[in-house]
Amino acid sequence: MSIRLSGCTLGYNRQTTVEEAVRRIAKIGYKGVDLYTGAPHAWPQDYAVKEREALKKLIEDLGLVLTGFAVAGGGLGLQYNFSSPRESIRRLTLEYYKDNIKLANDLGCPLMNVLTGHVLYGTSKEQAMKWTMDALQELVAEAEKTKFILGLHPQYIAESPLMITVDDALEMIKELHSNCVRIIYDTAQQNISYRNFMDDIRKAGRHLCYVHGADNDGIRWTHEALGKGTVDWEGIVYALKEIGFEGYICTQSWSELPNDVDTVMRDSKEYLEKVFAKTGVNSG
């Protein structure tokens, strides 16, 4: 089996253009790249047709595979919230996700993560979930036109109380009832929310489409280099092997400045390659 590595541009968001981030990820030796689609990186509204064509060509010329989009949302994009009491915000959020699907079609991207929003005081959890699921039903209809994958992304409770665990995501998958809806597992988020890595990966099973890889101390909401925290990477890789996962682990480290992102991305890649060698995984 083969588990491959991708690097997300998110860590470079406050330091370089998305194009420069892509170049650096390729130079470090990643074979896949994941684009952050919040400003000032690959924000869909900011990329005209010719700019999309140029970005796609850059990725191809560097010998990279475009593996996914990391959308703005949660703590990194409070303006995007499916459960906002303001209808205009809910509509803006849905349009942002639809714009991401159009950008993905233009660039040849297979999937993106989907985040539930924060719930403001005065809005019940039930109402927030209804607004969210109504929007996701509409988003699913759009994704099914091109078989684009929507990866439900459990978060930690300070970002959203609606989808915290893999079990929450599985319940949403049942309701959405579409082959386009899968699960993205975020190791840094789950190290805080529900540190039961191997069982969660087993639960996700065939629904698991992607892994966001980062580390932390299990207390603070940071996304450090892989191997620099308490995430059980060896156990995670063994569990991925057990379920026959053959997708990407995408390094997504973006902790607060000052942060040497080049070193974080390089250290993460080298650490995970050692774990792969120890666990008998072919990294492709």
List, in order of start, the domains of the chain with CATH numbers.
4-279 (3.20.20.150)
**For residues 183 and 249, what is the distance between their CA atoms, to the nearest angstrom?**
13
Q: Where are the beta strands (DSSP E) in 164-259?
A: 181-186, 208-213, 248-251
How confident is the model at residue 74, as a pLDDT?
87
> pLDDT of 120-140, one tens digit each?
999 999 999 999 999 999 999
Please give the average per-residue pLDDT across 6-22, as a whole number: 96
- Residue with structure tokens 């009491």? 85
With a cut of 70, say whether residue 253 has pLDDT above it. yes
How confident is the model at residue 257, as a pLDDT?
66
How confident is the model at residue 75, as a pLDDT?
81
Reduced to 3 states (helix: H, G, I; strand: E, B; else coil), residue 136 is helix
Q: For the chain, what is the mean pLDDT?
A: 95
Residues, the chain, total?
Answer: 284
**For residues 187 and 215, what is the distance between their CA atoms, to the nearest angstrom?**
7
With a cut of 80, say whether residue 254 has pLDDT above it. no
Strand partners, 65: 32
Written as six digits, the tokens of 97 are 């996700």
With a cut of 80, say whether residue 164 has pLDDT above it. yes
Phi and psi at residue 208, to the nearest 5°: -75, 125
With a cut of 70, say whether residue 284 has pLDDT above it. no
Q: What is the DSSP string of 107-120?
A: HT--EEEE-PPP--
CA distances from 94 to 14, 112, 142, 215 (A): 25, 14, 11, 30
> pLDDT of 180-228, one tens digit each?
999 999 999 999 998 899 999 999 999 999 999 999 999 998 899 999 9
**For residues 29 and 50, what is the distance between their CA atoms, to the nearest angstrom?**
27
Give yes or no for a contact between 58 and 66, defined as CB atoms under 8 angstroms apart. no
Residue type, 229: G
Give yes or no for a contact between 245 and 208, defined as CB atoms under 8 angstroms apart. yes
**pTM for this model (two decimals):** 0.96
Q: How is the chain split among helix, strand and coil, in percent rounded to 5? A: 45, 15, 40
